[in-house]
């Protein structure tokens, strides 16, 4: 048995690695390495460098502006991006709503929205969750009343990532109350500049501002901004969630972090502490190898079947739990000097003038806290277990 990549894929890897070493903006890599939160400008600088190369919308078909890569090329690209310490793309436009628009949108919608996503000039937010509707998303109550050629919107969306930077938001709204709650939901594209929309920041445990509550009061949106048919939004939403859950593995980023922890191990003086940390690191490395094999196996299956399918739920659980354990292990190397950071509410940004140790501790804590959310967003891990029980194991 041969485990590895074909020669043409290895050649592709060299090409991608050379791009990140020579053409990708070094300033963005520095921002991430310093532990600072990337700005909208940083995201645009990164995405426009990828766009110039034709490597931004890697999941899109060639006829819509994608590079036409196979799944293995996409996997190699993701690996090299993380290996280089580059910035992951903001998924809302490129991974979520873009495919919905080119699959279900009208020609006008495609012409209006796809170019801005492809050249990273227009940022999107995802307005699905509501204060009373998260896992049970189909229970959403956000009200959209049809008034001739427009909808009148009233309601609240919550946990809306990057809404403070968004030019547009795609929302699930309720256009009618049906006996079956999945019916009567409609998928709308909404300009964030429309009067009546307000963005309220939510600061998370890692000190970052990424989440928001977005309120809509008497917001008027043209019917022409609707995707597909009224009341069929659940179908488009499910299509989108399939795309969302396949993008969680981040094997190379985890490998990089475990390698850093191996380097820290050499500096641990106490033999007993070193032995225990080494054993824990070995366990995490084995789990990462298992995750990588699972991803590759799923890719091999998907190359023939066309999508990563329900295995995406297995990968989501394994990858997010592993990230939580790896980021927790990084704190074990700090020991008692790091304790004040646990109590500090603003750990994401290292204080100005921080020395190398403080910067490193701040980054480790930010990553640790950030990882807690991974088992919540994109469908909680409990919900993923339910999907595996029903769809993979066939239990009802
Ligand atoms: C960092 C972050 C970013 C996010 N970004 C966005 C975004 O951009 N746009 C957006 O729309 N949403 C976003 N979300 C929201 C996210 O999708 C929801 O938080 C998630 O779907 C869970 O919903 P909830 O928070 O209402 O929890 P609930 O659904 O209330 O769940 C609470 C607990 O009950 C468990 N539970 C619920 N139902 C079941 C069940 N049937 N079986 C077993 N256990 C169950 C859950 O697993 C969880 O542990 C984000 C969340 C986070 C943390």
> Is pLDDT of 234 > 90?
yes
Tell me phi and psi for residue 107, to 5 degrees: -60, -40
> Is pLDDT of 118 > 50?
yes
Q: In this structure, what token pair is assigned to residue 82?
A: 């993380």
Q: How far apart are CA 193 and CA 227, in angstroms?
A: 19
DSSP string, 237-288: HHHHHHHHHTS---HHHHHHHHHHHHHHHTT---HHHHHHHHHHHHHHHHHH
**Max alpha carbon distance in the chain (Å)?**
75
pLDDT of the residue at 308: 53
Check residues 186 and 356 and name the one with the higher pLDDT: 186
In the block, which residue shows the tokens 């603003």?
A: 346
Instruction: Provide the pairing of β-strand 185-191 with 168-174.
Output: antiparallel
Q: How far apart are CA 292 and CA 254, in angstroms?
A: 10
Is 244:225 a contact under the CB 8 Å cutoff? no
In terms of residue numbers, what domain contains 167? Answer: 124-240
What is the CA(107)–ligand 1 centre distance, in A?
Answer: 34
Ranges of H-type helices in the chain: 7-22, 26-34, 40-53, 71-83, 91, 98-104, 107-118, 233-245, 251-265, 271-305, 311-332, 339-343, 356-372, 381-387
pLDDT tens digits, 77-102? 999 999 999 999 999 999 999 999 99
Tell me phi and psi for residue 292, to 5 degrees: -60, -45
pLDDT tens digits, 247-271? 678 999 999 999 999 999 998 989 9
pLDDT of the residue at 340: 55
Ligand 1 close to Cβ of residue 132 (< 6 A): no
Task: Indicate the average pLDDT of the chain.
Answer: 90
- Give the least confident one: 95-99, 279-283, 363-367: 363-367
Is residue 102 assigned to a domain?
no
Q: Region 127-135: what's the mean pLDDT? A: 96
* 384, 255: one domain: yes
Residue 305's pLDDT band (boundaries 50, 70, 90)?
low
Is residue 94 assigned to a domain?
no
Helix (H) / strand (E) element for 214: namely strand 209-222
Is residue 114 assigned to a domain?
no
pLDDT of the residue at 345: 46
Q: In this structure, what token pair is assigned to residue 240?
A: 């989108």
Residue nearest to atom 29 of ligand 1 (CA): 135
Is residue 2 assigned to a domain?
no
**Residue numbers annotated as active site:** 244
Residue nearest to atom 12 of ligand 1 (CA): 129
Is 130:155 a contact under the CB 8 Å cutoff? yes
Residue nearest to atom 51 of ligand 1 (CA): 377
Is residue 169 assigned to a domain?
yes
In 3D space, the residue among 68, 74, 85, 88 whose CA is nearest the CA of residue 161 turns out to be 88
Ligand 1 close to Cβ of residue 217 (< 6 A): no
CATH number at residue 295: 1.20.140.10
> Is pLDDT of 24 > 80?
yes
Ligand 1 close to Cβ of residue 161 (< 6 A): yes
Ligand 1 close to Cβ of residue 164 (< 6 A): no
pLDDT of the residue at 291: 94
* 271, 372: one domain: yes
State the closest ligand 1 atom to the C-alpha of 373, by its place in the atom list counted from 1: 53
Is residue 308 assigned to a domain?
yes
Count of domains observed in the chain: 3
Is residue 109 assigned to a domain?
no
> Which CA distances in Å does 371 have to 319, 328, 364, 396?
11, 9, 11, 31
pLDDT tens digits, 330-356? 988 876 555 555 545 455 566 666 677
State the closest ligand 1 atom to the C-alpha of 381, by its place in the atom list counted from 1: 47
pLDDT tens digits, 152-167? 999 999 999 999 999 9
In the block, which residue shows the tokens 């495919």?
A: 99
* 260, 213: one domain: no
144: helix, strand or coil: strand
* 268, 344: one domain: yes
What is the CA(381)–ligand 1 centre distance, in A?
Answer: 9
Is 142:113 a contact under the CB 8 Å cutoff? no
Q: Region 217-239: what's the mean pLDDT? A: 95
Q: How far apart are CA 102 and CA 88, in angstroms?
A: 22
Instruction: Provide the pairing of β-strand 197-203 with 209-222.
Output: antiparallel
CATH number at residue 138: 2.40.110.10
Q: In this structure, what token pair is assigned to residue 385?
A: 């277990």
What is the CA(127)–ligand 1 centre distance, in A?
Answer: 13
Q: How many CA atoms lie within 13 A of 177 on its CB side?
A: 3
Q: Region 15-28: what's the mean pLDDT? A: 98
Task: Calculate ∠ Cα 384-388-393, nearest 5°.
Answer: 170
Instruction: Provide the pairing of β-strand 168-174 with 124-127.
Output: parallel
* 324, 186: one domain: no
Question: Around Cβ 109, how many Cβ atoms within 10 Å?
Answer: 18
Ligand 1 close to Cβ of residue 129 (< 6 A): yes
Ligand 1 close to Cβ of residue 386 (< 6 A): yes
- Give the least confident one: 4-18, 75-89, 150-164, 231-245: 231-245
The total number of residues written for the chain in this structure: 396
Ligand 1 close to Cβ of residue 212 (< 6 A): no
Check residues 43 and 337 and name the one with the higher pLDDT: 43
Check residues 301 and 179 and name the one with the higher pLDDT: 179
């Amino acid at each position: 048995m041969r485990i590895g990549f074909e020669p043409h894929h290895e050649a592709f890897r060299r090409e991608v690695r050379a791009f990140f070493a020579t053409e990708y903006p070094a300033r963005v890599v520095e921002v991430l390495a310093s532990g600072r939160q990337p700005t909208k400008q940083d995201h645009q600088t990164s995405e426009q460098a990828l766009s110039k190369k034709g490597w931004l919308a890697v999941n899109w078909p060639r006829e819509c502006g994608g590079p036409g890569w196979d799944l293995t090329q996409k996997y190699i690209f993701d690996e090299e991006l993380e290996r280089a310490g580059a910035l992951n793309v903001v998924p809302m436009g490129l991974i979520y709503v873009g495919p919905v628009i080119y699959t279900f949108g009208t020609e006008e919608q495609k012409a209006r929205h796809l170019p801005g996503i492809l050249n990273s000039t227009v940022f999107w937010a995802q307005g699905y969750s509501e204060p009373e509707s998260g896992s049970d998303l189909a229970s959403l109550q956000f009200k959209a009343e049809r008034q001739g050629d427009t909808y009148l919107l009233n309601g609240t969306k919550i946990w809306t990532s990057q809404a403070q930077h968004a030019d547009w938001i795609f929302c699930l709204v309720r256009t009618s109350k049906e006996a079956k709650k999945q019916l009567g939901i409609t998928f709308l594209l909404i300009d964030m500049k429309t009067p009546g929309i307000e963005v309220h920041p939510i600061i998370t445990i890692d000190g970052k501002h990424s989440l928001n509550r977005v309120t809509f009061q008497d917001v008027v949106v043209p019917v022409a901004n609707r995707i597909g048919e009224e009341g069929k939004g659940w179908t488009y939403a499910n299509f989108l969630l399939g795309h969302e859950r396949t993008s969680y593995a981040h094997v190379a980023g985890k490998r990089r972090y475990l390698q850093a922890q191996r380097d820290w191990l050499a500096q641990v003086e106490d033999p007993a502490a070193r032995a225990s940390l080494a054993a824990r690191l070995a366990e995490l490395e084995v789990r990462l190898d298992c995750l990588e094999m699972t991803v590759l196996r799923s890719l091999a299956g998907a190359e023939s079947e066309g999508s990563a399918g329900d295995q995406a739920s297995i990968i989501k659980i394994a990858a997010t739990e592993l990230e939580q354990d790896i980021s927790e292990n990084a704190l074990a190397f700090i020991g008692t000097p790091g304790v004040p950071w646990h109590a500090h509410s603003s750990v994401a940004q290292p204080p100005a003038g921080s020395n190398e140790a403080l910067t490193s501790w701040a980054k480790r804590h930010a990553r640790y806290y950030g990882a807690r959310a991974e088992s919540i967003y994109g469908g909680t891990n409990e919900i993923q277990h339910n999907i595996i029980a029903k769809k993979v194991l066939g239990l009802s």
